[in-house]
């Protein structure tokens, strides 16, 4: 991937979101409310964080937009696809994340966002039952229809650049299979052959986005762009991709707390994580095949932070379990419990309990904003392929598993990667080491 100073963010940025549910309506409503001065974009790194640039007497701490050219929130246009026909206002009300008083001031803007028909296959999300769905002859036709949607949106709004963001449900697990996913030619052949077992609808969205010159962000744990065929397409089109799975509640805690155990040289016997949630995400994840996709994502975090090969006395054979339970009364207010069994001096056991009563979409919304703005920045800086610096925002960061690359899951190392990338794209030296 190339790296250079980012070009200016001229014109408007189009953000096309797959899924118009709790996460995306909370994200879109928050952007509209912030534009009007009626809300604050709390939790957004691009809007609040400051990074040091320069050393010694030249040292200064600057907002991202003072280091690199970034679009203002006024320069964003939204569109969405969804299997349900409800517009963004109706969806925001139905999601019951935000109070009506925080939605109504931007009602007109939200009413104007009517979801495009979704590319959907019920086999991949059996619990969803919407009828706002494209009629597709095959997977190739599915991708072609999405490409037309992207072209139409660009023509209608006059946006200069587009980012496509997946904020829809977790699909059933599709294991990477080199016969179908190993090259772009193999992927395209499988799409044309309508191989619905190996080509998920999300892959059609990603393929369409990249073919239309739009960076793609995978906000669920789906395999979508985490395959060599998509890496090849991203390189061919010189486009950045990122994924997978928004790092919101429990995994954020894990990636920040596990380094405490590792840095303090304490041992780990077991880490049991369980969640209850009741939104559409919880409903879909109640299906075992869909939970399997999420489980693979959530389990990967700990093993790259507390590594047996590095400290065999401390991290050999610890037990790591993750559960998610659908519990409708909670709706979007997810609760995560972490029960951590550690041991210290002379092997004496201790316990840590973390109970995070979080709001899933309130944590995800700023990640949506940051990922879209930063992948657009990467595109303007001529970066392509997997954007590892965005792993800070993602549960299961993409990496080249075909070459046994180990992803960085340590939150503070991920933050160094993020800061250095922004420094470089702003014309400054990368000056922090990831140890």
Q: How confident is the model at residue 207, as a pLDDT? A: 98
How large is the C-alpha radius of gyration of the chain?
A: 21
The residue-averaged pLDDT of 187-213 equals 98
Question: What does the pLDDT look like over 392-416, one tens digit per residue?
Answer: 999 999 999 999 998 999 999 999 9
Question: What does the pLDDT look like over 64-110, one tens digit per residue?
Answer: 999 999 999 999 999 999 999 999 999 999 999 999 999 999 999 99
Q: Which two tokens stand for residue 155?
A: 């023509």
346: left (phi over 0), alpha (psi -120 to 50) or beta: left
What is the sign of the dihedral through the CA atoms of 412, 415, 421 and 425?
Answer: negative
Q: Taking 90 as the threshold, does the pLDDT of residue 9 lie above it?
A: yes
What distance in Å separates the CA atoms of residue 373 and residue 387, rounded to the nearest whole number? Answer: 13
What distance in Å separates the CA atoms of residue 228 and residue 184, rounded to the nearest whole number? Answer: 8
Q: How confident is the model at residue 199, as a pLDDT? A: 98
DSSP state of 98: S
Q: How confident is the model at residue 382, as a pLDDT? A: 97
Which residues have CB under 8 Å from 37's CB, separation 6+? none
* Among the ranges given (141-155, 178-192, 286-300, 406-420), the one the predictor scored with the smallest mean pLDDT: 286-300
Question: What does the pLDDT look like over 315-363, one tens digit per residue?
Answer: 999 999 999 898 999 888 889 999 999 999 999 999 999 999 999 999 9
What distance in Å separates the CA atoms of residue 368 and residue 78, rounded to the nearest whole number? Answer: 12
What distance in Å separates the CA atoms of residue 322 and residue 305, rounded to the nearest whole number? Answer: 17
Which domains does the chain possess?
13-246+361-425 (3.40.50.720), 250-358 (3.30.360.10)
Residues facing 77 on adjacent strands: 14
Percent of the chain with pLDDT over 70: 98
What distance in Å separates the CA atoms of residue 262 and residue 425, rounded to the nearest whole number? Answer: 32
Which residues have CB under 8 Å from 8's CB, separation 6+? 69, 380
In the structure, what pLDDT confidence band is assigned to residue 283 with cuts at 50, 70 and 90? confident
In the structure, what pLDDT confidence band is assigned to residue 1 with cuts at 50, 70 and 90? low
User: What angle, rounded to 10 degrees, do the helices at 22-35 and 360-380 form?
Assistant: 70
The residue-averaged pLDDT of 255-275 equals 96
Q: Taking 90 as the threshold, does the pLDDT of residue 122 lie above it?
A: yes
Percent of the chain with pLDDT over 90: 86
Q: How confident is the model at residue 2, as a pLDDT? A: 57
**325-330 LR contacts (CB < 8 Å, sep 24+):** 325/274, 325/275, 325/276, 325/277, 325/282, 326/276, 326/277, 326/278, 326/282, 326/283, 326/285, 326/286, 327/276, 327/277, 327/278, 327/282, 328/278, 328/282, 329/278, 330/276, 330/277, 330/278, 330/282
* Among the ranges given (3-12, 36-45, 217-226, 290-299), the one the predictor scored with the smallest mean pLDDT: 290-299
Q: How confident is the model at residue 330, as a pLDDT? A: 86
CA-based angle 388:389:390, to the nearest 5? 90
The residue-averaged pLDDT of 361-384 equals 97
CB neighbours of residue 311 within 10 Å: 14
Q: Number of C-alpha atoms within 13 angstroms, CB side, residue 88?
A: 30
Q: Taking 80 as the threshold, does the pLDDT of residue 42 lie above it?
A: yes
The residue-averaged pLDDT of 365-386 equals 98
Question: What does the pLDDT look like over 151-170, one tens digit per residue?
Answer: 999 999 999 999 999 999 99
Q: Which two tokens stand for residue 411?
A: 């939150």
Q: How confident is the model at residue 163, as a pLDDT? A: 98
Q: How confident is the model at residue 286, as a pLDDT? A: 75
């Amino acid at each position: 991937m190339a790296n250079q100073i980012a070009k200016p963010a001229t014109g408007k940025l189009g953000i096309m979101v797959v899924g118009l549910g709790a996460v995306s309506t909370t994200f879109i409503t928050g952007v509209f409310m912030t534009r009007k001065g009626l809300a604050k974009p709390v939790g957004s790194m691009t809007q609040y964080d400051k990074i040091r640039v320069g050393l010694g007497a030249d040292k200064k701490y600057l907002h991202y937009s003072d280091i690199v050219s970034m679009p203002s929130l006024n320069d964003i246009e939204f569109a969405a696809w969804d299997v349900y026909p409800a517009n963004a206002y109706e969806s925001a009300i139905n999601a019951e994340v935000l109070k009506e008083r925080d939605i109504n001031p931007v009602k007109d803007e939200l009413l104007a966002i009517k979801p495009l028909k979704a590319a959907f296959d019920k086999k991949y999300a059996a619990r969803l039952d919407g009828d706002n769905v494209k009629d597709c002859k095959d997977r190739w036709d599915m991708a072609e229809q999405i490409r037309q949607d992207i072209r139409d949106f660009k023509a209608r709004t006059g946006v200069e650049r587009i980012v496509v963001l997946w904020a829809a449900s977790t699909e059933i697990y599709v294991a990477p299979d080199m016969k179908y996913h190993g090259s772009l030619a193999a992927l395209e052949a499988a799409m044309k052959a309508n191989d619905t077992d190996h080509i998920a609808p999300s892959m059609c969205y990603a393929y369409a986005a990249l073919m239309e010159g739009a960076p793609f962000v995978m906000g669920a744990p789906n395999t979508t762009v985490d395959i060599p065929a998509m890496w090849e397409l991203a390189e061919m089109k010189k486009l950045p991709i990122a994924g997978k799975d928004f790092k919101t509640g429990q995994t954020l805690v894990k990636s920040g707390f596990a380094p405490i155990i590792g840095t303090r040289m304490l041992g780990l016997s077991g880490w049991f994580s369980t969640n209850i949630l009741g939104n559409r995400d919880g409903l879909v994840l109640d299906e075992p095949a869909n939970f399997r996709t999420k489980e693979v994502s959530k389990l990967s975090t700990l093993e790259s932070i507390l590594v047996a090969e590095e400290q065999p006395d401390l991290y050999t054979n610890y037990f790591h379990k993750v559960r998610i339970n659908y519990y409708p009364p909670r709706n979007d207010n997810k609760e995560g419990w972490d029960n951590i069994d550690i041991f210290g001096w002379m092997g004496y056991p201790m316990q840590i309990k973390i109970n995070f009563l979080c709001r899933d979409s309130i944590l995800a919304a700023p990640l949506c904003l940051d990922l879209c703005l930063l992948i657009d920045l990467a595109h303007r800086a001529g970066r392509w392929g997997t954007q590892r610096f965005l792993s800070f925002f993602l549960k299961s960061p993409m990496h080249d598993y075909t070459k046994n690359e180990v992803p960085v899951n340590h939150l503070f190392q991920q933050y160094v990667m993020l800061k250095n990338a922004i420094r470089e794209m702003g014309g400054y030296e990368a000056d922090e080491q990831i140890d």
